[in-house]
Amino acid sequence: MSRECERAGGVNLGQGICDQPVESAIRRRAAQAIDEGRNQYSKFEGIDPLRSRIAAKAASYNAISCDPDTQIVVTVGSTGAFALACLALLDPGDEAVVFAPYYAYHVNTLRLCGAKPVFIPLAPPAWEIDDSALEAAFSGKTRMVVVNTPCNPCGKVFTRGELERIGELARAAGAVVVTDEIYEYILFDGNRHVSLASLPGMSESTITISGFSKTYSMTGWRLGYAIAPVDIAEKMGLLNDLLYVCAPTPLQHGVIEAMDLPPSYYDEMSAGYARRRDLLAEGCRRAGIEPCMPQGAYYFLADVSALGCPDDAAAAALLLQKAGVACVPGGAFFPDPAARRSLLRFCFAKEIGDLERACRGLARLGS
Ligand code: PLP
């Protein structure tokens, strides 16, 4: 859709790229690291001051206590962290429980490792978990449960109660929970982020993944991290060495500065995304497109059945052609694309001017 959008000169609300600039203090620190000659490989688990800073943030924001020397691996994006977790834990034929709608990289990486995703449908518009479906998803082959909170694409923020139940079932099955928390700071309407690893008894069987791409608008820096039990972190570190050697050294220095930004940075970021969410949602509603309002992250799924298109791909093509707006066909986020023919995903991490242009385009749909 990004390529099609470029050809059509439209507004790209498809790919999850944030338009916001990187804070100047972070850029300066990375440039300084390059100027100072910090341009060689780092330890495969990442530079010491960054791991210490991540441990301090995990304690204060996530209520996770961990040893920065043995439990943290700095990775090539949170994408890299998820790949390492899968390679460290899964053998062909193993099963992994995944909530749908899902982030396709998760499912594709599981499949690449020969594992079988077992899907739990979340029910729109609130994306609730059906407890009996959750329970039934576990089998003797379950090795992993994948949680993404706040969730891409639906914006669900898992509650403490939901996470407790997931943790309880995972522990009973001897499975490790891998939680992708890359949108942990992007929260709306008073929703609070809860890290599953902070729940009693869960730190021993949880891998917490996060990263810098979304919170600091630096998707191209490719920096993320995992916090894991010591034995798993050790394997993930060795795999990080084998696949990547290390994450980019000077940029690791730069993001230390990111973690020192004041609390107001995070509040303003969420408030800014809430404004963007509301603006785009209103534009969609006026065009007869019904958004499922997200609690966090910067996407929503919206029902486009009123447009009368035969499927989601046709609806996405119509939006690009008539409204000059690119989005992602909803089928990309569900195991059975045919069941979700009426949904499209919109990303609202864009400049206000671009979102206004998108809304003007959507208004043309009725004409
Ligand atoms: N995890 C989720 C749920 C995402 O939505 C994305 C990007 O869209 C990523 C991971 C990728 O993160 P990173 O840039 O840290 O690899």
Tell me how far apart the alpha carbons of residues 56 and 62 are, in angstroms, rounded to a whole number: 10
**Ligand 1 within 6 A of CB of 152:** yes
Tell me how far apart the alpha carbons of residues 80 and 88 are, in angstroms, rounded to a whole number: 12
Query: What is the end-to-end Cα distance of the chain in Å, rounded?
Result: 24
**Ligand 1 within 6 A of CB of 79:** yes
Rg (CA), the chain: 20
**Ligand 1 within 6 A of CB of 77:** yes
State residue 339's pLDDT score: 67
> Cα of 79 to ligand 1 centre, how many Å?
6
Instruction: Print burial letters for 176-196: b (CB count within 10 Å at least 16), e (below 16).
Output: bbbbbbbbbbbbbeebebbbb
State residue 336's pLDDT score: 84
Q: Which atom of ligand 1 is nearest to the CA of 79?
A: 16
**Ligand 1 within 6 A of CB of 283:** no
> Cα of 366 to ligand 1 centre, how many Å?
34
Q: Which atom of ligand 1 is nearest to the CA of 223?
A: 15
The token pair that represents 203 in the structure block = 């730190």
**Ligand 1 within 6 A of CB of 182:** yes
List, for residues 206-247, the tens digit of each pLDDT value.
Answer: 999 999 999 999 999 999 999 999 999 999 999 999 999 999
Residues of the chain below pLDDT 70: 337, 339-340, 367
What angle separates helix 249-258 from helix 24-35, to the nearest 10 degrees? 150
State residue 3's pLDDT score: 85
DSSP state of 321: I
Question: To test ligand 1's pocket by mutation, which of 15, 17, 79, 222 has the most ligand atoms within 8 angstroms of CB?
Answer: 79
As to burial, measured by CB atoms within 10 angstroms (0-12 exposed, 13-18 middle, 19+ buried), residue 296 is buried
**Ligand 1 within 6 A of CB of 180:** yes
> Cα of 326 to ligand 1 centre, how many Å?
19
State residue 5's pLDDT score: 83
**Ligand 1 within 6 A of CB of 101:** no
> Cα of 354 to ligand 1 centre, how many Å?
22
Report phi then psi at 205, rounded to 5.
-135, 30
Nearest 5°: the CA angle 299, 215, 168 is: 75
Atom 12, ligand 1: residue with shortest CA distance? 78
State residue 99's pLDDT score: 98
Question: To test ligand 1's pocket by mutation, which of 73, 76, 78, 106 has the most ligand atoms within 8 angstroms of CB?
Answer: 78
- Secondary structure element (H or E) that encloses residue 282, with its range: helix 263-286
> Cα of 359 to ligand 1 centre, how many Å?
26
- Residue 249 and residue 94 in contact, taking contact as beta carbons nearer than 8 Å: no
Task: Look at strands 95-100 and 116-123 and give their pairing.
Answer: parallel
**Ligand 1 within 6 A of CB of 203:** no
Tell me how far apart the alpha carbons of residues 113 and 125 are, in angstroms, rounded to a whole number: 32
> Cα of 157 to ligand 1 centre, how many Å?
16
State residue 245's pLDDT score: 97
**Ligand 1 within 6 A of CB of 205:** no
The token pair that represents 153 in the structure block = 């694409």
